[in-house]
Amino acid sequence: MYDAATDTGPADPGSHLTSPTTRAALRVQQGLLAAAREYLTGHGFTELLPPVIGPVTDPGARGAKQVDIDYYGHRYKLMTSAILYKQSSLLAFDRIFCVAPNVRLEPLETASTSRHLAEFHQLDVEMGGASREEVMRLLEELVVHMVRQVVTGLPGELERLGRDRDDFLGLLRGGFARVPHAAAVEQLRALGHPQSADTELDWEGEALLSAKSDAPFLVTDYPKGSRGFYDREDPQAPGRLRNFDLIAPQGYGELCSGSERTNDYAEIITRMRETGENPRKYRWYLDLVRAGVPASSGFGIGVERLTRYVAGLDAVWQASAYPKLPGVVAP
């Protein structure tokens, strides 16, 4: 019986790489990424290679530490997400995507959530001119396409992993339910879980809702304090953000976060100050915003998280060839 509390990742790199489970999981991952590229390039998106270092990175990863590097005497960061570059890239192309590596030194206690790595990848998508509704529909269609291609193209790998088409009936139907954050909070309280109305759903709460569902669903309209300055505040509902998370069914939890973006210079400065960020650090980004970065919506799917769910793996590290569990020394 799998026990997350005592799980410290693979016994050694060699046995992990040669394990039939790892091989099947990585083939599923490759199938998901190939399907994503097929879908996105077919819908007019251009793939860009994302930067790995920069003067600043996404400050929105609460609880996780950023990693500094010495860049010719300047303090640079490893990317915790590609958000600043995704928005800026819309100056070149109005629909872009990338598969981006992220490094976040997550708190030690996250090593046993089965959902956290210190190094992982996001499939990042940004769509100029799109509303939240449009980008949520794109996300739905993209995820359905990715999973359908794996279900039809890699049945042998799924069988090896103990998964089959029936596990994805809810997902393949599409049309994912939308649950406003406030409603999710009420559902959790009715279940006896003390979820705060002003924060992200906590891991336990998210797992509870995820376990009760047989299809992915979207939680929308998170409260302002819970996210970075780039998630746009709803002009009709101050204090609410025009954002969303995609939550997997069967207890696998969050797969993706996305939002309509703030692209107004003054609004970004205000939101930076509200979130404790010093605008001076973001000079290159703010210069572009002031000159005019298009309005957009976008999202980032955790590649290892999605692989874990599709492959039905006990822990997210099984979806990485070289997993880095928070605090665990590994190649």
∠ CA 276-281-287, nearest 5°, is: 115
Q: What is the side-by-side order of every strand in the sheet holding 53-54?
A: 53-54, 74-78, 68-71
- The two three-digit tokens of residue 25, written as one number: 């999981």
CB of 302 to ligand AMP, least distance (A): 2
- Measured over the CA atoms of residue 259, residue 264, residue 265 and residue 268, the dihedral's sign is negative
What are phi and psi for residue 239, nearest 5 degrees?
A: 95, -15
CB of 257 to Mg ion, least distance (A): 3
Residue 255 binding: pick among ligand AMP, Mg ion, none (C-beta 5-8 Å cut-off by kind):
ligand AMP
- Does position 257 interact with Mg ion (CB under 5 A)? The reply is yes
- The two three-digit tokens of residue 10, written as one number: 């693979």
- Does position 260 interact with ligand AMP (CB under 6 A)? The reply is no
d(CA 224, CA 232): 9
CB of 159 to ligand AMP, least distance (A): 26
The pattern of x and - marking residues 304 through 323 that bind ligand AMP according to CB under 6 A reads xx----------x-------
Q: Measured from the CB atom, is 204 or 287 closer to ligand AMP?
A: 204
- Does position 79 interact with ligand AMP (CB under 6 A)? The reply is no
With beta carbons less than 8 A apart as the criterion, state whether 119 and 137 touch: no
Q: Measured from the CB atom, is 18 or 314 closer to ligand AMP?
A: 314
Looking at 220, 257, 259, 307, which residue binds ligand AMP (CB under 6 A)? 257
**Rg of the Cα atoms in the chain:** 19
Paired residues of 245 in beta bridges: 219, 257
Q: Measured from the CB atom, is 62 or 165 closer to ligand AMP?
A: 62
- Does position 81 interact with ligand AMP (CB under 6 A)? The reply is yes
The pattern of x and - marking residues 183 through 222 that bind ligand AMP according to CB under 6 A reads ----------------------------------------
With beta carbons less than 8 A apart as the criterion, state whether 257 and 82 touch: no
Choose the stretch contacting ligand AMP; rule: CB under 6 A; options: 4-12, 31-39, 209-217, 250-258.
250-258
Pairing of strands 243-248, 217-220: antiparallel
Q: How many chain residues touch ligand AMP (CB under 6 A)?
A: 18
What is the residue-wise DSSP string for 218-231? Answer: EEE--BGGGS-TTB
Query: Which DSSP letter does residue 312 get?
Result: T
Choose the stretch contacting ligand AMP; rule: CB under 6 A; options: 158-166, 269-277, 288-296, 298-306.
298-306
CB of 305 to Mg ion, least distance (A): 10
What is the residue-wise DSSP string for 127-142? Answer: EET--HHHHHHHHHHH
Interacting residue ranges for ligand AMP, rule: CB under 6 A? 60-61, 81, 104, 106, 116-117, 120, 122, 254-257, 300, 302, 304-305, 316
Interacting residue ranges for Mg ion, rule: CB under 5 A? 257
